[in-house]
Structure 1
Amino acid sequence: MKDTQYWRRKSEQCLKHSENSFEYRQLMIEALRTQINFDAYCCTLTDAHTLFSVGAVTEHSIEAIHQEIMELEYAVEDMNKYEFLVRSGQHIGRLSDSTSQSFRYREVLEPNGFSDELRAALIYQEQCYGFLTLFKRAESEPPFFQDEDLALIEIVMPIMGERLKEFHHYIIEERLPTVEGEQGIVIIDKELRVLSSNTKAYELLSILRKYESLTEWQVPKPIQAICASLLADSYNTNTSLIVPIKDTGYIAIRASLMLTSLQEQQIALLINEASSREMLNFLIMAYNLTPREKEVVFEIIKGIPTKEIAFNLGISHYTVQDHLKVIFQKVKVSNRNELVWKIFSRFQLD
Structure 2
Amino acid sequence: MNRDRLRRTRADIVRLADDGLDWVTFSTQASEILSRLVPFQRSCWHTVDPWTVLLTGSLNQNIDYSGSWLATHEYVLDDVNKWWFLARSGRQAGATSLATHGDLSRSARHRSREAYGIGDELRGSFVADGTYWAAASFLRDEGEPWFTEEDVRLLASLCEPIAVGFRRALLATAVTTEHPRDDGPGVVMFDEYGDPESISPAAERWIEEMIEVPPPPVPAASKMVQVVAARARAFGAGHDSVEVSARSRVQTRSGSWLLLYGTRLSGGADGRTAVIIQPATPNEVAPLVALAYGLSDRECQVTQLCLQGQSTKQMAQMLGVSPYTVQDHLKSIFDKTGVRSRGELVGRVFLEDYALRWEEHPVCLA
- Place the TM-score, normalised by the shorter chain, in its bin: 0.7 to 0.9
Contact 1:255 1:270 in 2 (8 A): no
The alignment status of 1:286 with 2:292, answered yes or no, reads yes
Question: Displacement of 1:189 after TM fit?
Answer: 0.8
1: CA distance, partners of 2:314 / 2:14: 46
| Residue identity opposite 1:141 in structure 2 | E
Contact 2:225 2:275 in 1 (8 A): no
* Counterpart pick for 1:207 among 206, 209, 215: 209
Question: Displacement of 1:214 after TM fit?
Answer: 0.6
How many percent identity over aligned positions?
A: 21
The alignment status of 1:220 with 2:215, answered yes or no, reads no
2: CA distance, partners of 1:9 / 1:316: 40
Contact 1:238 1:257 in 2 (8 A): no
Aligned-partner SS, 2:210: helix
Aligned-partner SS, 2:198: strand
The alignment status of 1:71 with 2:72, answered yes or no, reads yes
2: CA distance, partners of 1:276 / 1:14: 29
Give the equivalent residue in structure 1 for 2:362.
none
| Residue identity opposite 2:71 in structure 1 | M
CA 1:343–1:215 in 2, change beyond 3 Å: closer, same or farther? Answer: same
Give the equivalent residue in structure 2 for 1:257.
264
Give the equivalent residue in structure 2 for 1:339.
345
Aligned-partner SS, 1:11: helix
Contact 2:44 2:137 in 1 (8 A): yes
The alignment status of 1:184 with 2:185, answered yes or no, reads yes
CA 1:170–1:71 in 2, change beyond 3 Å: closer, same or farther? Answer: same
CA 1:163–1:123 in 2, change beyond 3 Å: closer, same or farther? Answer: same
| Residue identity opposite 2:270 in structure 1 | Q
| Residue identity opposite 2:128 in structure 1 | Y
Give the equivalent residue in structure 1 for 2:275.
268
Deviations 1:104-132 (A, max 9, x none): 24641335443322112223333332222
Contact 1:279 1:344 in 2 (8 A): no
* Superposition RMSD in Å: 3.2
1: CA distance, partners of 2:199 / 2:172: 33
Question: Displacement of 1:246 after TM fit?
Answer: 5.5
Aligned-partner SS, 2:318: helix
After superposition, where does 1:17-28 map in structure 2 within 5 Å?
20-28=22-30
Question: Displacement of 1:88 after TM fit?
Answer: 1.5
Give the equivalent residue in structure 2 for 1:197.
200
* Counterpart pick for 2:47 among 29, 45, 50: 45
CA 1:283–1:20 in 2, change beyond 3 Å: closer, same or farther? Answer: closer
CA 1:112–1:67 in 2, change beyond 3 Å: closer, same or farther? Answer: farther
The alignment status of 1:116 with 2:120, answered yes or no, reads yes
Q: Which moved more, 1:89-98 or 1:211-220?
A: 211-220
Higher relative contact order (CA 8 A, sep 6+): 2
Aligned-partner SS, 2:199: strand
Deviations 1:141-166 (A, max 9, x none): 33x22344334433433332221221
Give the equivalent residue in structure 1 for 2:81.
80
Question: Displacement of 1:285 after TM fit?
Answer: 0.9
1: CA distance, partners of 2:297 / 2:206: 33
CA 1:187–1:225 in 2, change beyond 3 Å: closer, same or farther? Answer: closer
TM-score by length of 1: 0.83
2: CA distance, partners of 1:320 / 1:288: 17
| Residue identity opposite 2:121 in structure 1 | E
Contact 1:172 1:246 in 2 (8 A): no
Contact 2:247 2:261 in 1 (8 A): yes
Q: Which moved more, 1:279-288 or 1:23-32?
A: 23-32
CA 1:145–1:106 in 2, change beyond 3 Å: closer, same or farther? Answer: closer
Deviations 1:249-271 (A, max 9, x none): 22222322223423341213122
**Stretches of structure 2 lacking an aligned partner (at least 5 in a row):** 357-366
**Stretches of structure 1 lacking an aligned partner (at least 5 in a row):** none
Give the equivalent residue in structure 2 for 1:11.
13
Q: Which moved more, 1:323-332 or 1:21-30?
A: 323-332
CA 1:213–1:113 in 2, change beyond 3 Å: closer, same or farther? Answer: closer
Deviations 1:60-96 (A, max 9, x none): 54x2256324313222332112122112122211111
Q: How many residues are matched?
A: 342
